[in-house]
Amino acid sequence: MRKVKVYDTTLRDGTQGEEIAFTVEDKVRIAQKLDELGIHYIEGGWPGSNPRDIEFFAKIKGVRLRHAKVSAFGSTRRARTRPADDPNIQALLEAGTSVVTIFGKSWDLHVRDALRVSLDENVAMIQDSVRFLKGRVDEVIYDAEHFFDGYKRNPEYALRTVRAAGEAGADCIVLCDTNGGTLPVELMEIFKKVRAEFKHPLGIHTHNDAEVAVANTICAVAMGAEQVQGTMNGFGERCGNANLCSIIPNLVLKMGIQCVSNEQLRQLRNVSRFIYELGNLKPWTHQPYVGKSAFAHKGGVHVHAVQRNPETYEHIRPELVGNRQRVLISDLSGKSNVVYKAEEFNIDFGKDEAAAHRILAALKDLENKGYQYEGAEGSFELLMKEALGKRRKFFDLQGFRVIVEKRNEKEEPHCEATIMLRVDGVTEHTAAVGNGPVNALDNAVRKALETFYPGLSEMELLDYKVRILDEHKGTQAVTRVLIESGDKASKWGTVGVSPNIIEASWQALLDSIEFKLHRDAEGKSPKSNGTVPKRKTSSRPRRGVASHLSREAEKVAK
């Protein structure tokens, strides 16, 4: 079986992307996850460029990696300087890794305009550096920077530079599309010519400026590349690097190249999300293979087909990469969508054969009014329960009042909510303040309900979105509010729609609370026994579902 090795540069090239930064501890944890994924090489950073990377190489020595080799990255020696006297080369050796990767110039334009040395001196810099390092570390990888652009402008010189690296003993020569502008048809033609001339192992390193980094990588493998370089989630400078979250499953599932095991491949989505989390970045919903929407189906015809055979609209089984099939609910849905969601929610229609049609009709009517259930499956589950007569009434709202008062220009507005409700025959009348009208309302309803349902203390806001549906009406426009909430067991979304943002927020908030109470009563969340607990008092500070409501949304409310 053909082997291709995966070289990850998330910790170095990936951190050059805008808004991406990792602490030393983050980098160590990511390296461990990449090792578990079966990555062959982890490029830890450039020890000659910053103290953080030096610290990483010191710490990673104490971490046991089962699969991966850690590589230090740097450049060739400086002009007119011996490798032994070059601080960058010495820093690479001091990193103490068994693998060192260096890059050199393949494009004569860079030699003349960036390095400002002769073409001969550049070749000598490459050859001297590789030879010096090869005598002191186990493995030397040479990255031929700007190779494809250099080849297109001056093929003889570009080939001369990689020939110098090969003759000096480089274990692998990696051809780089550093500017990311080479198209697959060009890359394949050039790679084929290089492959025909050199017997050395070749690798590929591409950037995504023309949106073809993954395609170029796959093409290079088809032409004989033995090493692929990239980053997790495609992180990287400008438009990013080749995305290993797409490359790895393409190699394994499409080309039959076992670069990682099937068991390791099932960890792909988890590793992708882990790195997003440490980077404090929101995951790309529509990312191939690992995105939340990668295997999501919305149209009724599609859902009906995948229920019979998933292969009809899924190019792989999502479980192979740790993902799952999802069915979305919207006005494009058919009966199959409703039946699918009922099974997912463990809702039994019983002998009510018309239930799916009633739910579908209600869904289409509500979406016509502005409701959206693709991100509010909690509200949709409650809608289904109501249509089947299974929606419980946990409390009765007697009324609420929200006051927003601004005493002078410099002070922040003061927000207070008063609410009256009944639970099991007991009336609660309470008030609370908040950093906005919705937060105050949320604090008040929690203050009233947590004495009866202490499980609500586990619930907290994860996201809050406000959308104006008919912006041409200005401040009189209908508003849609989406809330994502969660507890120790799960996450759920709810929706509310009204010309009044407070009412829309109340609807979404009410659904969020009722969904939690249903789950607790059904034993689907921790610490739930399905009964109404005895009333008790609590001095715990309020953690409102809307406690992080954006200032912009509050301005709309005021």
Residue 257: which residues within 8 A CB-CB, separation 6 or more? 1, 2, 3, 4, 221, 251
Strand partners, 497: 480
Asked if 459 and 500 sit in the same domain, the reply is: yes
Choice between 95 and 283, residue whose per-residue pLDDT is larger: 95
Q: Which residue has the higher pLDDT, 547 or 13?
A: 13
Could you give the angle at the alpha carbon of 348 between the alpha carbons of 342 and 353, nearest 5°? 90
Query: Do 403 and 379 belong together in one domain?
Result: no
Of 540 and 291, which is predicted with more confidence?
291
| pLDDT band, residue 472 (cuts 50/70/90) | low
Give mean pLDDT, residues 507-512: 92
Q: Residue 339: give its domain's CATH number.
A: 1.10.238
Residue 488 has a pLDDT of 85
- What do you get for the CA distance between the two ends of the chain, in Å? 66
Rounded to an integer, the average pLDDT of 35-45 is: 97
Domain count, the chain: 3
Of the listed ranges 212-221, 296-305, 419-428, the least confidently predicted one is 296-305
Whether 285 is covered by a domain: the verdict is no
Quick one: 366 and 400 in the same domain?
Answer: no
Residue 370 is part of which domain span?
296-387
Whether pLDDT at 537 is above 50: no
Contacts of 461 (CB under 8 A, 6+ apart): 483, 484, 485, 544, 545, 546, 547, 548
Is residue 366 located within the same domain as residue 499?
no
CB 155 within 8 A of CB 114: no
Q: What proportion of the chain, given as a percentage, has pLDDT over 90?
A: 60
- Other CB atoms closer than 10 Å to residue 433's CB: what's the count? 14
What residue has token string 């079986």?
A: 1
- For residues 269 and 289, give the distance between their C-alpha atoms in angstroms, rounded to a whole number: 8
* Residue 285 structure tokens: 């919903």
* 558 pLDDT tier (thresholds 50, 70, 90): very low
Q: Which residue has the higher pLDDT, 16 or 306?
A: 16
Q: Per mean pLDDT, which of 329-333, 477-481, 496-500, 536-540 is the most reliable?
A: 496-500
Task: Tell whether the model's pLDDT for residue 555 goes beyond 70.
Answer: no
Instruction: In whole angstroms, give the CA distance from residue 263 to residue 244.
Output: 17
Residue pair 229/243 in contact by the 8 Å Cβ criterion = no
Average confidence (pLDDT) over 21-28 = 93
- 546, part of any domain: yes
Out of 364, 387, 410, a domain closes at 387
Q: What is the mean pLDDT of residues 503-508?
A: 92
Nearest to 493 by CA among 329, 300, 279: 329
Residues 451, 345 share a domain: no
Domain boundary among 260, 283, 305: 260
CA distance 448 to 53: 52
Claim to verify: residue 95 and residue 229 sit in the same structural domain: yes
What is the b/e burial string over 264-281, where b = at least 16 CB atoms within 10 angstroms of the residue's CB?
A: bbebbbbbbebbbebbee
CATH code at 174?
3.20.20.70
Residue 374, pLDDT score: 66
Are both 380 and 414 inside the same structural domain? Answer: no
- Listing DSSP states for 109-144 in one string gives HHIIIII---HHHHHHHHHHHHHHHHTTSSEEEEEE
Note the pLDDT tens digit of each residue in 198-223. Answer: 989 999 999 999 999 999 999 999 99
Q: Looking at the structure, tell me whether residues 404 and 314 fall in a common domain.
A: no
More confident residue, 535 or 244: 244
- Quote the pTM value: 0.70
Beta carbons within 10 angstroms of residue 126's beta carbon: 28
Position 164 in a domain:
yes
Residue 136 is assigned to a structural domain of this protein: yes
- Per DSSP, what are the bridge partners of residue 352? none
Q: What mean pLDDT do residues 390-407 have?
A: 90
242, 260, 278 - which closes a domain = 260
219 and 311 co-located in one domain:
no
Asked whether residue 171 is assigned to any structural domain, the reply reads: yes
Could you tell me if 455 and 449 are in contact, meaning their C-beta atoms sit under 8 angstroms apart? no
Residues 143 and 224 in one domain: yes
Helix-strand-coil percent breakdown of the chain, rounded to 5?
45, 20, 40
Q: Is residue 269 part of a domain?
A: no
Calculate mean pLDDT across residues 405-412.
Answer: 85
CA distance 326 to 303: 10
Q: Does residue 486 share a domain with residue 365?
A: no
Query: How much is the pLDDT for 55?
Result: 95
Assess whether 364 and 420 both reside in one domain: no
Most confident of 198-207, 336-345, 540-549: 198-207
Task: Look up tokens 């003889």; give the residue.
Answer: 156
**What distance in Å separates the CA atoms of residue 482 and residue 466, rounded to the nearest whole number?**
7
Predicted local distance difference test score (pLDDT) of residue 552: 35
The answer to whether the CB of 44 falls within 8 A of the CB of 76 is no
pLDDT for residue 466 is more than 50: yes
The encoded tokens of residue 206 equal 């591409």
Q: What is the DSSP letter of 241?
A: B
473 — pLDDT class (breaks 50, 70, 90)? low
Instruction: Please give the biggest Cα pair distance in the chain.
Output: 91
Q: Residue 463's closest CA among 512, 500, 503?
A: 512
Which amino acid, one-letter code, is at 199? K
Q: How far is CA 284 from CA 287, 416, 444, in A?
A: 5, 38, 36
Residue 440 sits in a domain whose CATH number is 3.30.160.270
Rg over CA atoms, the chain: 29
Q: What is the mean pLDDT of the chain?
A: 87
Residue 282 is assigned to a structural domain of this protein: no
Tell me whether residue 204 is in a domain.
yes
pLDDT per residue as tens digits for the range 135-148: 999 999 999 999 99
